[in-house]
Amino acid sequence: MLSSRQYIVSHAPFWHNGTAVHHRNYNWLLALLPAVAAGLTYFGVPALGVICLAVSSAIFWEWLITTVARRPVTVGDGNAALVGLIFGLLLPATAPWWLVITGTFIAILIGQQVFGGIGGNPFNPAALAWAIIFLSWKTFLDFDSMLVNYSFNFAPYHPLVALKAFGPQAVARIPLGDLFLGKQVGGIGTTCGLALVLGGIWLMARGIVRWEIPLSFLAGVFVSAFIFHVAAPESFSGPLFHIMAGYTLFGAFFLAPEDSSSPVNFLPMLIYGATGGIMTILIRNIGAYPDGVIFAILVINLINPLIDKIRPKRVN
């Protein structure tokens, strides 16, 4: 009889364009592969260890936390892997194992799960974890001492640390091309501008990262660094140096545009990105830290609800 057939009953609309959360996350992972490759090239096997540990521990933490909290287990959507990978790429290749798993634990638990998981986090989870680690075990994020046993065929010091300590003359001779190709001391996946730009373009072209945010972030860095540089070239480096050095490109393409902690409206996105860029330069040029990207991003995350209007978090 007719009634024996079970039809699907659900609500309109009955069409969907086929996108899914895991598609987006897998695309992010894909876009980070060039940076991973560059990191392995420059930092070798230890970098591989850190990346693998970061990704697997992040997945494990999310599985554990969702299981204990009796929430649906969501590791299949790739989000934990993504947070773990981003965190891992921020670290020096010689980061100790306990630092890596502590960091991913912070990123997954404090960064995301306490806010109800994906979509609820007010801060970029990887950036938040990095900041907490930085404030607790500062020396392990001091790239110059962490990478001291490497023999690089390029300037063997962190360009921004050198800039902070010795002024623009100290870094004036580093070719920008070297920086762009990853010939600088830094996080595993954050040094090679070329790889980051490739990944960033992929995400923007696919409509996964909202292009307004990275571009306005970079514009903010460029313009503010340019103004400092023009006003006092002997104290402040030029804008291109600031874009190539440190976490700038990684932050612009992979930290600032994190979905949950960034705005979605056009003008707010521009304000958000530009503010992040300007904050970065302010911290670098007149603040206490050599690289201001992470703190700048946490600041814009913080003001995001104000820019994009306040919203409640979905915490049961």
Partner 1 sequence: MIKKPFFGYATANFRYELLSKAVAPPASLPVPQQAVFLVPDPDDLGPSGFDYQVGTRLKTGQLLRARSGNGPGVYSTVTGTVTDTSVFLGNYGQKFLSLTVQCQQEDQWSEDFSQALEKDRQQALLDFLGAAPGAADLSPFADGQTPIDTLVVLGADPDLLVETNLSVLKSDLNALARGIELIKEVFGPQSVMVVAPGDNLQNVDSHFPARAITVPLDYPAVQPLMIMQKVLKRFPAQDKTIARLGVVFCKAEAVVSAAAALTTGRLPLEKLITVIDKQGNRKLARARMGTPIGDVLRRFGIETGSRDRIIAGGPMAGTAIYSLAQPVTAETDALMVQDRAEIVMSSDYPCINCGDCVRNCPAHVQVNMLVRFLEAGQYQEAADMYELYACVECGLCSYVCPARIPILQYIKLAKFELERSLPAEEDNA
Q: How many CB atoms lie within 10 A of CB 211?
A: 17
Provide, rounded to whole angstroms, the least separation between the CB of residue 12 and partner 1: 5
Three-state DSSP class for residue 155: coil
Q: Of the candidates 16, 70, 138, 173, which one interacts with partner 1 according to CB under 8 A?
A: 16
Considering beta carbons, is residue 116 or 238 the nearer one to partner 1? 116
Residue 312 as a binder of partner 1 (CB under 8 A): the answer is yes
**Is there a contact between 114 and 85 (Cβ–Cβ < 8 Å)?**
no
Tokens representing residue 181 in the block: 């190709």
Residue 70 as a binder of partner 1 (CB under 8 A): the answer is no
Provide, rounded to whole angstroms, the least separation between the CB of residue 131 and partner 1: 21
Residue 217 as a binder of partner 1 (CB under 8 A): the answer is no
What gap in Å lies between CA 9 and CA 235, rounded to an integer? 67
Q: How many CB atoms lie within 10 A of CB 222?
A: 18
What gap in Å lies between CA 228 and CA 238, rounded to an integer? 8
Binding mask 280-309 for partner 1 (x = CB under 8 A): -----------------------------x
Residue 7 as a binder of partner 1 (CB under 8 A): the answer is yes
Residue 6 as a binder of partner 1 (CB under 8 A): the answer is yes
Q: Of the candidates 18, 68, 70, 231, which one interacts with partner 1 according to CB under 8 A?
A: 18
Q: Of the candidates 46, 49, 120, 168, which one interacts with partner 1 according to CB under 8 A?
A: 120
Provide, rounded to whole angstroms, the least separation between the CB of residue 66 and partner 1: 13
What is the tally of helices (H) and strands (E) in the chain? 14, 0
Q: Which residues contact 235 (CB under 8 A, 6 or more apart)?
A: 167, 168, 228, 285
Three-state DSSP class for residue 91: coil
Residue 45 as a binder of partner 1 (CB under 8 A): the answer is no
Residue 262 as a binder of partner 1 (CB under 8 A): the answer is yes
Residue 201, burial from CB neighbour count under 10 angstroms (0-12, 13-18, 19+): middle
Considering beta carbons, is residue 212 or 291 the nearer one to partner 1? 212
What gap in Å lies between CA 225 and CA 285, rounded to an integer? 8
Provide, rounded to whole angstroms, the least separation between the CB of residue 127 and partner 1: 16
Provide, rounded to whole angstroms, the least separation between the CB of residue 6 and partner 1: 5
Q: Of the candidates 76, 96, 119, 156, which one interacts with partner 1 according to CB under 8 A?
A: 119
Residue 96 as a binder of partner 1 (CB under 8 A): the answer is no
Tokens representing residue 104 in the block: 């991913």
Give the footprint of partner 1 on residues 182-211 (CB under 8 A). 205-207, 210
Provide, rounded to whole angstroms, the least separation between the CB of residue 126 and partner 1: 16
DSSP 258: -
What gap in Å lies between CA 138 and CA 140, rounded to an integer? 5
Residue 68 as a binder of partner 1 (CB under 8 A): the answer is no
Task: Give me the amino acid identity at 196.
Answer: L
Give the footprint of partner 1 on residues 127-186 (CB under 8 A). none
Tokens representing residue 67 in the block: 């299981």
Binding site for partner 1 (CB under 8 A): 2-3, 5-21, 23-24, 72, 116-120, 205-207, 210, 259-260, 262, 264-265, 309, 311-314
